[in-house]
């Protein structure tokens, strides 16, 4: 006697397989024992709950470590502690995800019904519903982990990872077009002493700053006494120098327009400023025009004035951006 196969009907307790709506015969090409709602701890809810609590503990460590990272960074930073808490945060987060996937998510293969080569709107809607069923079930079943633990912890840790971006500094914006030189600022040496016209001998050089800003990174300038040599200023920069008797003073930014090094060498015979980093060379008598090396822009010149007492001062800031040419492509 031959056994007759009884068509299996999908019930409410066993979710519909792909392509099969509730109350329809079980597809012939899908194993009858298949159950896509199964996960390793489905039959042991108490153990599943304990696993959830353990995962929550791990992710709580991630959150606490994220807060610790922000506190350490805010108070000045300490590389070893930052590395420790970063390792704890990422390690506990990853371990929790692995345990969740191992014990609380379906891990078996599911056979999909091929069905017919064509399908109507109802069949397509059933497929879409079945595809979303697994995700919806996971999120609903594990709402405690997802909504109360993972989302807050992920937010805290995400913010902690963003904080180090502050080390990149402020956005340059228009700040690169201005230095600490200002109209009327007295020219002072590195000790803050005002510089007078007679302080620099002919062919002499002195590094100077604006009064009150001797520690400024963008303000260092070189003051040079070219004596009787003839200066050939660029258009628009006539009158930036100071002439008093035998003294003829000019002032240029000390920051090289190639890579930002300090232009600290002076060849008196050729009246050239030289950057020691890449040997960019600037002709002082041609308004600090580059004549050798990779620099493509002249050193910006500072407009000088002299008080009735013979003290030098800046009539205004540099009229063009200082430093490397890549900050201001229009100047290349």
User: Which helix (H) or strand (E) element contains residue 38?
Assistant: none
CA angle 216, 221, 271 (to 5 degrees): 160
pLDDT at 146: 67
> Do residues 271 and 265 make contact, with C-beta atoms less than 8 angstroms apart?
no
Fold for the domain defined by 179-331: Rieske Iron-sulfur Protein (2.102.10)
- The label of the residue with tokens 């809810």 reads 45
Q: How far is CA 248 from CA 144, 201, 230, 303, in A?
A: 79, 10, 9, 13
* Cα–Cα dist 209/117, whole Å: 82
Sign (positive or negative) of CA dihedral 28, 33, 37, 38? negative
Shortest CA distance to 204 belongs to which of 222, 186, 189, 217?
Answer: 222
> Do residues 278 and 261 make contact, with C-beta atoms less than 8 angstroms apart?
yes
What DSSP line would sit under 283-308, residue for residue? Answer: EGGGTSEEEESS--SPPPBPPEEE-T
**242 Cβ neighbours under 8 A, 6+ residues apart:** 197, 248, 249, 304, 305, 306, 312
pTM value > 0.85: no
Using CB atoms within 10 A of its CB, is residue 304 exposed (0-12), middle (13-18) or buried (19+)?
A: buried
For the chain, 332 residues long, give each residue's pLDDT as a single digit of tens. Answer: 444 444 444 444 444 444 444 455 666 777 776 776 777 787 788 888 888 888 888 888 888 888 888 888 888 778 888 888 888 888 988 898 888 888 877 766 766 666 555 566 776 676 666 555 554 545 455 566 666 677 777 777 777 777 676 666 666 556 667 899 999 999 999 999 999 999 999 999 999 999 999 999 889 999 999 999 998 888 878 889 999 989 999 999 999 999 999 998 999 999 999 999 999 999 999 989 999 999 989 999 999 999 999 999 999 999 888 888 765 544 44
pLDDT at 156: 75
């Amino acid at each position: 006697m031959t056994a007759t196969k009884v068509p299996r009907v999908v019930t409410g307790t066993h979710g519909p397989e792909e392509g099969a709506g509730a109350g329809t015969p079980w597809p012939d090409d899908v194993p009858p024992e298949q159950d896509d709602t199964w996960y390793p701890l489905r039959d042991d809810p108490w153990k599943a709950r304990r696993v959830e609590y353990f995962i929550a503990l791990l992710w709580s460590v991630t959150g606490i470590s994220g807060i610790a990272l922000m506190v350490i960074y805010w108070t000045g930073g300490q590389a070893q502690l930052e590395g420790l808490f970063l390792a704890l945060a990422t390690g506990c987060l990853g371990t929790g995800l692995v345990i969740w996937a191992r014990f609380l998510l379906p891990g078996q293969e599911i056979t999909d019904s091929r069905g017919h080569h064509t399908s109507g709107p109802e069949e397509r809607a059933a497929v879409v519903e079945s595809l979303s069923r697994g995700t919806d079930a996971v999120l609903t079943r594990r709402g405690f982990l997802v909504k109360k633990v993972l989302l807050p912890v992920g937010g805290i840790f995400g913010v902690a990872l963003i904080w180090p971006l502050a080390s990149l500094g402020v956005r340059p914006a228009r700040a690169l077009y201005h230095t600490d030189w200002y109209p009327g600022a007295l020219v002072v040496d590195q000790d803050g002493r005002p510089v007078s016209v007679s302080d620099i001998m002919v062919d002499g050089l002195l590094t100077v700053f604006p009064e009150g800003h001797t520690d400024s990174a963008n303000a260092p300038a070189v003051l040079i006494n070219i004596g009787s040599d003839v200066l050939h200023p660029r258009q628009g920069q006539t009158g930036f120098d100071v002439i008093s008797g035998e003294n003829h003073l000019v002032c240029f930014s000390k920051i090289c327009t190639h890579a930002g090094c300090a232009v600290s060498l002076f060849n008196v015979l050729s009246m050239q400023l030289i950057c020691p980093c890449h040997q960019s060379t600037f002709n002082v008598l041609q308004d600090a025009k580059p004549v050798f090396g990779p620099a493509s822009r002249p050193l910006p010149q500072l407009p000088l004035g002299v008080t009735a007492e013979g003290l030098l001062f800046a009539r205004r800031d540099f009229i063009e951006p200082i430093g490397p040419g890549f900050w201001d492509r229009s100047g290349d």
